Amino acid sequence: MADEAAKAKADADAKAKADAEAAAKKKQKQMPLLQKLLQKQKLKQRPMLL
């Protein structure tokens, strides 16, 4: 019984870790898009500042 409980906990931990990694990867994919948008805005604003 204890082994089954330990295995179930290990599976749950592994799933939680996988979910966290998937969320982190999703964020990393979104970040470059945000940075590109910010760079475009900065480039648009820069000529006005000069």
- Residue 15, helix vs strand vs coil: helix
Long-range contacts of 25-31 (CB under 8 A, 24+ apart): none
Rounded Cα distance, 6 and 47, in Å: 62
Q: What is the pTM of this model?
A: 0.51
Query: What pLDDT does residue 16 have?
Result: 93
pLDDT band at 50 (very low <50, low <70, confident <90, very high): low
Query: What pLDDT does residue 3 have?
Result: 94
Q: Which residue matches tokens 């082994």?
A: 3
Rounded Cα distance, 26 and 16, in Å: 15
Q: Give per-residue pLDDT as tens, 2-47.
A: 899 999 999 999 999 999 999 888 888 877 887 888 888 877 776 6
Rg (CA), the chain: 22
